[in-house]
Amino acid sequence: MDLSLTDEQEFLREAARGALKRVDTVAAAREALEDETKRPDLWKTIVEAGWTGLLTSEAGGGAELGLYDAMLVAQEAGRVLAPVPLVSTLPAATVLDAAGDEASEAVASGETRIAWLPAAPPTDQEPRWTADPKGGILRAELPKATVDGGTATLSGAVHWVPDAAQAEQLLVTADGPDGPVAVLVDASASGVSVEGLWRYDATRPLGHVTLDGAQGRVVAADELALRRAWHVAQGLLAAEAVGTVDALLPVAIAYAKERHTFGRAIGSYQALKHQLVEVLRLLENAKSLLIYAAWAHENAPDELSLATAAARSGAEHALDVATRVQISVHGGIGATWEHDAPLFFRRAQLQRRLLGGAGGATDRVAGELLGGVVPA
Amino acid sequence: MDLNDDPQQAEFRTQVRAWLDEHKAEAPIVMGEGQIEDEHERIEQWRGWQRKLAEAGLCGVTWPEEYGGQGKGPIEQVIVNQELSRAQVPGALDFIGLGMMGPAIIVHGTDEQKRRYLGPMLHGDEVCCQLFSEPAAGSDLAGVTARAVEQEDGSFKISGQKVWTTNAQFSAFGVLLARTDADVPKHKGLTMFIVPMDAPGITIRGLRQISGEAEFNEVFLDEVHVPADAVLGQVGGGWGTALTVLMFERLSIGTTSIGYSAERFAAGVKSAPGAAEDPEVRQRLGHIGTEMIASRFAGHRLLSDLAGGKLPGPEFGLGKVTVVKSAIDAGDLIADVLGPDALDEHSEWGYMISFLPGLKSAGGTEEILRNTIGERVLGLPPEPRSDKGVPFSELKAREKEEVA
């Protein structure tokens, strides 16, 4: 048994940390709340670093690395609140790669900027493929596709799509005549409209995509590839959350050692110490779950849904607790713009509601366990 | 990222599995359904099973070969534990002796003590218990008040009360922490002894828990006379010996499964009609399952660390916090969906529900564990302490004054 990082993985992590240092992304996250033009676009950074092709096979033009490698990069992005579009790009790249699609190479190299429209596979309680609703708790239908040869005509909408407005192409999972079908659509095609938007957190650009008779090309991906895209996205969001918590904890600890009340450091009070240890506990649990998710991705396809859902659920919980503890450790100032804590809190609040939400992941964990999946 | 055994470990696993396949029918049922009802009969059969395991090289896996062990690492110990659990047979009767007391004797004992105690312990002929905790000294173990008074001939007379003593009622020996000097600060005046449990002056009384069973004992010592060579380690060096035992305890806990799992809890929930479809039940189960799976992979990480030569530090205590917390939540959820029948003593869950509130404090309370991790792992400043450098006798006098 060996779960330690390889030299290549250590190198990848260091390289990612270095690449993300070039822009002060935390400062940008604050400025962008008031001035939209201050939102950094790190697309060039991720293309230069080769992250768009991390999960794509060598034959498909990529680096053919594992999910854990991509998660290392996602953790680094999470550490500094970097708006790195991994969760939109990599799932799309894996679908194109699995299909041996001609567009794979341009996506893996970053020549084409693509966004994947999140589509959740069925669960034991929800027989349909679904998308996130614009609001409310009922899951939404996928766009409908009519297929004529290699061309599909799409109608419907998908809401809260990460990086939708920045993409040149969209990879849509639609409800086709014989089940889910992947369709590649130009963002500028007739019948496609993308409303770019931000909510609460300036580090995560989103979009509402409406398809009204838009035509696109059918990608020959099987249902398994579409399922895996969802699970990969869950794993990547989990990794971003782990990175964020990992960055928060030392800041809180440093303050708890330095700030004194009633004649002693506040970190010596059990009331605070135990909260910080709770953050450590949840963080270490989430790290263990990332290992499970990445291991299942390569070794146990039947456990991938359980593993990535557990990683997402555990990591979002850790992030929720950590961002709140961050504010309470710092006292009143932690709830003001004088401090960075609110930026992390905003990040947590938004991301736990995207891509099926933290609650959806938790429900999927239950469904898989009730269905008899046994974790390794 | 590899969860598999390396070739050497795989070969060891094959050997262990082959032996267990051949012999598992000889194992007694010591817990749960079909358990041998008569305690004496159960213990004697379990003792015999330990002897067989020991002869097959499945006890004392990490002990040096010169003391009858296998001279292997913690990974091999885990392989044995995993295979025992896979074969659904009990491990050794004397898990406390083999996992903690034996290793401490190997580190701190004299050659004569090693010769005298280790062989019979390994084979189950003599069980060994741990006489550390007292009614007023648990998490703050260095506060023990059992007194060992040195006699003119160098022997000692020990008086006091110990508690939470697993296996005391059938142990041959106990490893006991006592105060030999009350006029120095509390960590300094302690000495460790090996005490025969049939010595005059020892009274053992079962301590019934929530479940109604008595898995622990109270042990009363009244002027128990032990020779000078009963000292384990140095006189006044008992705290160092105790820390060795506690380190082995962490290792032992970290590598042993307590039989709770996400899949078992899910099966419990599913057995209640309608529960598997209820959104709130599913949220609760999803959180419990997530934490249980996390602790399983934390265990894999621990093994990976051990294989890389790292010893478990206090942060591994967090694994226990997670398992106990999730299992308490699971018992609560299962009792909610099954109703009062879940609390029946013959139900699969009744015992677990009764057992867990106490487990939260086993091996030190969760609150103290969080202090230790906060200080040693996160580097936070310690709680202010009024006992540092103060002679133990003065400390006790102060306590009395405060209460008065």
Q: pLDDT per residue over A157-207, tens digit each?
A: 999 999 999 999 999 999 999 999 999 999 999 999 999 999 999 999 999
> By C-alpha distance, which of B75, B70, B37 is closest to B55?
B70
CA of B5 vs chain A CAs: smallest distance (Å): 6
What pLDDT score does B254 carry? 67
Q: pLDDT tens digits for B204-245?
A: 999 999 988 888 999 999 999 999 999 999 999 999 999 999
* Strand-pair partners of B134: B137
Q: Does A137 touch chain B (CB under 8 A)?
A: no
What is the reported pLDDT for A2?
81
CA A375 – CA A358 distance, rounded (Å)? 20
What pairs with residue A199 in β-bridges?
A: A201
Average pLDDT, chain A: 96
Average pLDDT for chain B: 92
The angle subtended at Cα A362 by Cα A358 and Cα A136, nearest 5°, is 55
CA distance A257 to A268: 8
CA–CA separation, B148 and B128 (whole Å): 20
Residues 169-228 in B contacting A (C-alpha not used; CB under 8 Å) = none
Taken as a whole, chain B contains a residue count of 404
- Exposure string over B61-96, b if 16+ CB within 10 A, otherwise e: bbbeeebbbbebebbbbbbbbebbeebebbbbbbbb
Q: Residue A67: list chain B partners with CB under 8 A.
A: none
Confirm if A108 and A114 have CB atoms less than 8 A apart: no
Structure tokens that stand for A18 in this block: 């270095």
How many CB atoms within 10 Å of residue A109? Answer: 15
* More confident: A365 or B31: A365
**Chain B residues within 8 A of A66 when measuring between CB atoms:** 1
* Per-residue DSSP letter, B98: I
**Model confidence pLDDT, tens digit, residues B274-324:** 999 999 999 999 999 999 999 989 888 888 888 787 776 667 778 889 999
The predicted structure's pLDDT at residue B226: 98
Q: Do A1 and B286 touch (CB under 8 A)?
A: no
pLDDT tens per residue, range A9-41: 999 999 999 999 999 999 999 999 998 788 888
Residue of A nearest to B267 (CA): A370
CA B170 to chain centre: 17
Q: What is the pLDDT of residue B215?
A: 84
Q: What span, in angstroms and rounded, lies between the C-alpha atoms of A139 and B375?
A: 46
Give the pLDDT confidence score for residue B1 in this predicted structure. 67
- Judged by a CB distance cut-off of 8 A, whether residue B283 touches chain A is yes
State pLDDT tens for residues A242-284. 999 999 999 999 999 999 999 999 999 999 999 999 999 999 9
Instruction: Assign 3-state DSSP to chain A and report helix, strand, coil percentages, each to 5.
Output: 55, 20, 25
pLDDT in tens, B105-121: 999 999 999 999 999 99
For residues B17-46, give the mean pLDDT.
91
Contact B301 A359 (CB under 8 A): no
Alpha carbon of B75: minimum distance to chain A alpha carbons (Å): 9
Percent of chain A with pLDDT over 90: 96
CA distance B274 to chain A (A): 12
What is the per-residue pLDDT for B403?
85
DSSP-assigned letter for residue A122: P
Which A positions 6-65 lie with beta carbon below 8 A of chain B? none
Q: What percent of chain A has pLDDT over 70?
A: 100
Residues 6+ apart with CB under 8 A from B100: B130, B245, B248, B249, B252
